[in-house]
Structure 1
Amino acid sequence: MFPILGLFHSLPSCICTFYAASSSFLPVKRPNSSPASNEGSSNGGSSEPPRKFQRVGKSQRPVAVPSGPATSARTRFIRVHEGWVPLLRVSPAMSQVAIPVRQTMLKVLYTRPKPTLAAEHALKQEEELTYRNTEARFISHPSVGTESEVQAREEARKKIAALCLTTVHLEPYVLSMDQMKQWEPHEEGSPMACDRCNQRFIVKRRENADHCRFHWGRREKRRVYTCCSRTTDEEGCETGPHVFYESDPDILHSRHGFTSSRPKNGDEDSALDIVALDCEMIYSTGGMRVARVSVVDGTGNEVLDKFIRMDDGVEVIDFNTRFSGINEENYSTAVHPLESVRESLDSLINSETIIIGHALENDLKTLRMIHHRCVDTVVLFPHQQGHPYRRALRALAKEFLGQTIQAAGAAGHSSIEDSVATLDLVRWHVINKPRPKPPARYVALA
C-alpha cells in the first residue's frame, strides 16, 4: 500500500490534475431527496438506482396504533377501554417476534383484566373497611394463605354446606324458658324519648317530624362513635327525624297483639322442622315495626321473603335504610299487613318448629309471635364480657365462617343474607363445638 502511495506522489503534476478532474465523475451516495427533487431528476438528472443496503428517508420505530378511528391521545385511550384493541403496524423484517404472536399478547393485555381492576378493588376494600371502622382488623380473601390453609378453609366450607340440620342436631341447643326470659330486653301526638338523641319529643309522621343530630354508630369504651370517630362531647354526624323504640311486651301488645305459633296438625302438617328467620325494621308512629321478614329452610334455601305494610293508622317516620335496607321504592311494593304475613308464616312454622336467629327476641317481638323452640347465635357465641353484651352477626360471620356480610354501607342489610349466616353459624357450631347440655325436660326423655 505504501509503495503505491509513493508512486502516486511521484507522478507529474499534469497527471495528478487530470486524475483530480476525473474523480468528480465517480459514483457517490445519493442524498435523501424530496418528491419534488425526485421528479426533477427524472426529467434530466441522474437516473442511478440506489445501492442495495442504502436507507432512504428517516428511520421510524414500530408503534401501536388503534384499530378503530381515533383523533387524539385521549380518544385513543377511551376507545381502547370501550373495546378497541391497538393494531400493530410493524414491518415483519424489523420484528424479532412474529407479528401475530405480538398482536395476540397485546389483545390479552387490553381485554383481561381491566387496567383499573386493581384500583377499583382497593377502593371497594377501603369503603368496606371505613364502614366497619374499628371492628375490622383486616380484610381477608379465600385465596390468601398457604396452599394447605386455603385447602383447609375450602374443605371446612364444603363441610358446613353439606350438613343438613335435623331436630336431633338442634334439640340440645333449644333455649329454656329461663334463658328466654333472661334475654328479654306512642301513638302519634304522644310524648316519647328519642331512640337516637334521648330527647323528649312529640311523635309525628314522617313529613311533619322534628329532626335531631345523632350518631348511627355505636359508642365505644374510649368514648368515640364507630361511625365518625367523634367523641361523645361533639355534635352528631347525621341528621334525621326523632324516633322511638319500645320493648315492654305490655305496650307492644297494646299496639298489636301477640299470638302463639299454631299447634302441629297431624303428620301431614306443611310446617318445616327447622327454619332460620330474620326481620328488618323501620321507625313508625307506632314505634319500631317490622317491614320485611325472610325465612330459609334447614338447607339454606329461601322459602319466604315479604315486605310488610304498616297497619292502618300507623305512619312511617324513618325507613332506617342504613340498617334495614328498606327504602321508599321497595316499601311501595308492600301489599300485605303483618296479620296477613303471620298467616303465611303459620304455613311454615308450628309450635314444634325450631327457629334459628340472631338476637331472636327482637324478631319475635316485632312479629308479635310467641314461640318456645328457639336457637339463638347470641347464646351460642357469647360475648367475652358476658350478658347482656352480645357480638355482632357480621363479626361472628367473619371470624367463624370467613365471610363478609352487611358490607353494603348506607344501602343497608339483607334479611336473606343474615338468615343464611345464622344458619351457617349453627352448622359450624354443631361440627366444631361440643354440644351443650340439653335442658332437664329432654334429659328425662332420653
Structure 2
Amino acid sequence: MLPSLEIFKNIPCPDSPHCKRPQCIFAHGQQPTSSTSTTTSSVIPNKRSRPNPSHQQPKQQKQHQQCSNPSKALNVKKSTTSSRPIARSISSPFGKDPSDRVAHVATFTGPPTIKADISSHTALKIRQTISDKLYEHYRRIYPASIHGNDVAAQRTQDQEQAILTSTSNTAGYKQQAMTILMQLKKKEPEAAKTVTSKTETNNGDDGGMDATFLNTLVLTESQLDAMQYPPRTLLDHPTPAVTKDPQRTCDRCKKPFTVKAILDAKDVKACQYHFGRLRVSQSFGEKLRTYTCCDDTLGSLGCEKGPHVFKEEQVDKLHAGLPFVKVPPSSSSSRPETILALDCEMGYTTLGMELIRLTVINANHEKILDELVLPSHMVIDLNTRYSGITTLAGVKHNLVSIRQALFDLMDPTTILLGHGLENDLKALRIVHDKVIDTAALFPHPHGLPYRYGLRMLATKYLSKFIQTGSDGHDSFEDAGTCLELLHEYVRKHKPSSLQ
C-alpha cells in the first residue's frame, strides 16, 4: 500500500465512531490544540513521513474515548474555536486554493487568431488571411487612439464569422470576403466621417472625384478611332438607304447562312457550335487546342445547337438599319450628371445585335436606370448565356424611349463610363465623344486590338470576382465594377496638387 500524504487527516471520518479501518486517513475526534506549534504542525503534513504502527493503537484508543462522550467533545471544540482563530486546516497540494483563481480575460492586441474547426467549409489558412485583411481595414476605420484596441479586433472576428456562416463553400467565402473588403476599402475613419460627408455633399454628382482630372481621362480623337467608336462625322451625311444582304456569316459556327424574318423548326437547330473558348492543354506530352465548354479538340463538331446569328460591325450599315443620334442639350430642370457608368446587354435579331437591357448608375453607385428594351426586329436569340435575360415579358421601352430616358439624365458634357463602351454606344445608336473606357485606362501590354477583360481587371486591381455565375452577366455589377476601377485609377494617378 502506498504511503498516505495525510491530506485528509483533519477531516472527520464519515464512519466515526464505528470506523474499522486499521489505518484510516481521516481524523477520529478532536486534535489537541494546546499550543500554536501543535496546530501548525497538524496543518502542514509531512509528505515523506510514514505512520508508525507502534503508536497507532494508543491513538485509536484515545479517539474512541473522546467519541464515547459526544457532548464533552462538542464543548471542547466550541471553546477551542472561540478562544483563538483556527488557520485553514486543508492545504492544497498545488500551493494555492483553486477557488481563489480568476479566469483569464482575453484582450486583443492584434489580428484575431482563427481557431481550427473541422466543420468549417474553408481552410484555416484562407480564413486567417481574410481575417488579417479585415483587421487592417477595421484598424484604419476605428483608430485605437479613439475607439480602443479591442474594437477593430472584435469587429474583425464578428465579420469573418458572418462571412463563414452566410456561405456554403470556399468559392462563395472568397467572393463574399472580397465584396466586404471592397466596401471597407471605401469606408472612411469614424473620426472623420462627419467632415467627409459634408465634402461628398458639396461635390454633388461627381462622387467626390475631381471633374477637372476626370476630363483628362476622356478618350482622345485618335483613341476613339482606334477603338472603333461611332465617329461624329457619321451624322454629317444623310442616312444611307437600307441595303438588304440576306447572306451572312454565322457569328458562332462561322458558316454562311440566309437571314430569314421567320424561323422554322429546322432553322432553330441549324447551328452547331462550341460556346467555350479555345485553350492549349497537354495530353501525353502533346499540346492540344481544346474548348473550355466540353474539352473537345479544335475541329470537332459543336457541343450545342441553336439558330444561326450574326453581328454587324460596320458603322455605316448600323446607321442605315437604325440611325445614330447625338446627345441633345439638357431640357430637364434638374442638374445633369457629371459622370454616368452604364452597361448594355444585347440579343440577336434579324438585324444583327440589338439592345435588350440598359443599366445606368451614378457616381455614388446608385442605380438610376435599369430597364428591358424591346428590339425593333424579330428576336432570334436572347443570348441568355451572356446577357442573363430569359424573357422580355413586361418590357416597357423600345430603343427611342429608353434613349430619351438616358438623355433626361445627361447632356453633351456628361462623361459616360464603361468597358468596351463602343459596343454599348453602337447598341444605343448614340454618337458621344465624352467617354472614359476602362479598357484604355488599363491597357493590354501588347496594345490594341488586345484588351483585358473586365473580369480580369476586377480580379487584378480590385481583388474582386465578378461574372462567376452560370446564368449570365449582371449589367449592374459590370457598371459598378467600371466605377470602382475608375476610383482605383484616380486614387493612384491623381496629382498631389488635386488631392
TM-score, normalised by the number of residues in structure 1: 0.61
Find the partner of 1:167 among 205, 208, 211.
211
What is the match of residue 374 of structure 2? Answer: 309
Change (3 A) 1:149 1:352: same
Change (3 A) 1:301 1:364: same
Aligned pairs (5 A) from 1:225-374: 225-264=291-330, 268-311=333-376, 314-328=377-391, 331-374=392-435
- Specify the code of the residue in structure 1 equivalent to 2:431: I
**Would you say the 8 A contact 2:361–2:368 is kept in 1?**
yes
Unpaired segments ≥5 residues, structure 2: 1-116, 141-180, 189-206, 230-241, 282-288
- The reply to whether residue 183 of structure 1 matches residue 227 of structure 2 is yes
What is the match of residue 255 of structure 2? Answer: 199
Q: Distance in 2 between matches of 1:399 and 1:152?
A: 20
Q: Distance in 2 between matches of 1:153 and 1:242?
A: 51
Change (3 A) 1:372 1:337: same
Q: Deviations over 1:146-192 (max 9, x none)?
A: 75434446767334466633423411110011101100179988111
Q: Which has the higher contact order (CA 8 A, sep 6+)?
A: 1
**Would you say the 8 A contact 1:206–1:318 is kept in 2?**
no
Q: Distance in 2 between matches of 1:191 and 1:422?
A: 37
**Would you say the 8 A contact 1:354–1:375 is kept in 2?**
yes
- Specify the code of the residue in structure 2 equivalent to 1:164: G
What is the match of residue 51 of structure 1? Answer: none
Q: Distance in 2 between matches of 1:187 and 1:292?
A: 27
**Distance apart, 1:216 and its partner CA:** 1.5
Change (3 A) 1:379 1:189: closer
Change (3 A) 1:161 1:175: farther
Q: Distance in 1 between matches of 2:258 and 2:483?
A: 40
Change (3 A) 1:276 1:233: same
Change (3 A) 1:193 1:417: same
Q: Distance in 1 between matches of 2:328 and 2:394?
A: 28
**Distance apart, 1:215 and its partner CA:** 1.6
Q: Distance in 1 between matches of 2:363 and 2:354?
A: 27
Q: Deviations over 1:122-162 (max 9, x none)?
A: 9xxxxxxxxxxxxxxxxx97x55175434446767334466
Q: Distance in 2 between matches of 1:228 and 1:355?
A: 38
Q: Distance in 2 between matches of 1:116 and 1:310?
A: 53
**Distance apart, 1:270 and its partner CA:** 3.8
Q: Deviations over 1:354-394 (max 9, x none)?
A: 11100000000000001111111101111232211111111
Find the partner of 1:382 among 419, 423, 443.
443
What is the match of residue 217 of structure 1? Answer: 276
Q: Deviations over 1:394-435 (max 9, x none)?
A: 1111222122211121x1111111110110011011112466
The SS at the match of 1:303 is strand
- Specify the code of the residue in structure 2 equivalent to 1:299: N
Change (3 A) 1:226 1:392: farther
Find the partner of 1:420 among 470, 477, 480.
480
Q: Distance in 1 between matches of 2:352 and 2:454?
A: 24
The SS at the match of 1:317 is strand
Q: Distance in 2 between matches of 1:146 and 1:353?
A: 39
**Distance apart, 1:230 and its partner CA:** 2.6
Change (3 A) 1:153 1:283: farther
**Would you say the 8 A contact 1:188–1:204 is kept in 2?**
no
Q: Distance in 2 between matches of 1:405 and 1:319?
A: 21
What is the match of residue 170 of structure 2? Answer: none
Q: Distance in 1 between matches of 2:394 and 2:120?
A: 38
What is the match of residue 429 of structure 1? Answer: 489
Q: Distance in 2 between matches of 1:397 and 1:415?
A: 14
Q: Distance in 2 between matches of 1:190 and 1:206?
A: 13
- Specify the code of the residue in structure 2 equivalent to 1:203: V
What is the match of residue 131 of structure 1? Answer: none
- Specify the code of the residue in structure 2 equivalent to 1:394: R
The SS at the match of 1:388 is coil
- Specify the code of the residue in structure 2 equivalent to 1:426: L
Change (3 A) 1:373 1:152: farther
Identity of aligned residues (%): 35
- Specify the code of the residue in structure 2 equivalent to 1:346: F
**Would you say the 8 A contact 1:276–1:297 is kept in 2?**
yes
Unpaired segments ≥5 residues, structure 1: 1-114, 123-139, 436-446
Q: CA RMSD in A?
A: 2.9
Change (3 A) 1:315 1:200: same
Q: Distance in 1 between matches of 2:187 and 2:263?
A: 46
- Specify the code of the residue in structure 2 equivalent to 1:180: L
Change (3 A) 1:434 1:200: same
- Specify the code of the residue in structure 1 equivalent to 2:359: S
Q: Distance in 1 between matches of 2:373 and 2:418?
A: 19
The SS at the match of 2:374 is coil
Q: Distance in 2 between matches of 1:218 and 1:160?
A: 35
- The reply to whether residue 149 of structure 1 matches residue 133 of structure 2 is yes
The SS at the match of 2:439 is helix
How many residues of Structure 1 are paired with residues of Structure 2 in the alignment? Answer: 296
Change (3 A) 1:302 1:373: same
Larger displacement relative to structure 2 (204-213 or 248-257) = 204-213
The SS at the match of 1:378 is helix
Q: Distance in 2 between matches of 1:227 and 1:233?
A: 14
- Specify the code of the residue in structure 2 equivalent to 1:258: F
**Would you say the 8 A contact 2:330–2:408 is kept in 1?**
no
- Specify the code of the residue in structure 1 equivalent to 2:343: D
Q: Distance in 2 between matches of 1:302 and 1:164?
A: 17
Change (3 A) 1:299 1:385: same
**Would you say the 8 A contact 2:382–2:390 is kept in 1?**
yes
